[in-house]
Amino acid sequence: MSADQSASTPITPDTISISTEESRQRSYYDSIAQLYDSHYANRHALAYRYSVYDLGLRGLGFAGKSALDAMCGGGEGTGYLLRRGARVTGLDISPKCCEVYAQRHPGVPVVCSSVIKTDFPDSTFDFILTDSLHHLPPRLDEGVAEIHRILKPGGYFCCWEPSADSLVNILRKAWYRLDPRFFQENEQAIHLPSLMKSQAGRFELVHAIYGGNLAYLLVNCSMAFRIPTRIVNIYAPTMMFLERLLGRFQSSALSLWVLCLMRKKASQDRTCC
């Protein structure tokens, strides 16, 4: 199935072969699709997200390029890519999130599917974007392998993820153990050095950017702390200012996220994986 065909040939949940972990995630995100969207598509959360993408994707041309918003949720990343002129397709395992996506981006193809096994042909996309690799453990390598398969040689893959390099990740792990909304067995922050080592035969690193403090926690991730969006709207500008100020003195050890831009190698190293 091509990216263009996906709009007229939707994959329904009954046709998706998924694991127990994925089934649990699908049910969970179906149940919170509207709540999730109200937080992550809040205008301040989008402004934060777009500022991160501007930083990490600076210099890339998207006009006319085919792009996949993988594990897209309600399409927050898609909005950015459309503004940059890309031809976008969304993909998410949650039917309810796909419905939200279709409402937000009418006419943009969205496929209800696991990212671990898609029906896209080899080398379909010029660019793939995600913020959800941390949902894939223990099947992270399978997911990245599929992303590699459907990305064109020389194409770019960008992931924006919670960073396991951060000292604050200790608190994040504790939060995941205590909060019933999260699945600690298959929700893990991404350790970039390990990821790049495992993908050395598939991708080359273009750059990695570390960041995130107050605004990331209290604006972008307000749902996790159960902060009503009406309250977020009040303090968001202040948090954004403080994050920029604190970010000047921030190291990777104190950064909450990492944005990694990598490029698919023209030919795969036979020693890989």
Cα radius of gyration rounded to whole Å, the chain: 18
The token duo for 251 is 């190291």
Q: Give pLDDT, residue 184.
A: 56
Contact 188, 178 (CB under 8 A): no
User: What SS3 class is residue 189?
Assistant: coil
The contacts of residue 47 (CB under 8 Å, 6+ apart) are 240
Is-cis flag, bond preceding 138, omega within 30?
yes
Kind of pairing between the strands at 125-130 and 110-112: unpaired
End-to-end CA distance of the chain: 26
> Which of 112, 109, 87, 81 is closest to 97 using CA atoms?
112
Is 5-164+189-211+258-264 in CATH node 1.20.140.150? Answer: no
Could you read off the pLDDT tens digit of each residue along the chain, which spans 273 residues? Answer: 555 544 433 444 444 556 777 888 899 899 999 999 999 999 999 999 999 999 999 999 999 999 999 999 999 999 999 999 999 999 999 999 999 999 999 999 999 999 999 999 999 999 999 999 999 988 999 999 999 999 999 999 999 999 999 988 888 777 767 776 665 566 789 999 999 999 999 999 999 999 999 999 999 999 989 999 999 999 999 999 999 999 999 999 999 999 999 999 987 544 443
Identity of residue 122? D
Predicted pLDDT at 5: 45
Domain boundaries, the chain: 5-164+189-211+258-264
The per-residue pLDDT for 186 is 64
Q: What is the pLDDT of residue 181?
A: 66
What pLDDT, on the 0 to 100 scale, is given for residue 177?
74
pLDDT at residue 15, as a whole number: 45
Strand order in the sheet with 66-70: 110-112, 87-92, 66-70, 125-130, 151-162, 257-264, 203-211
Q: What is the pTM of this model?
A: 0.90
CB 239 within 8 A of CB 216: no
Sign of CA dihedral 133, 53, 79, 227: positive
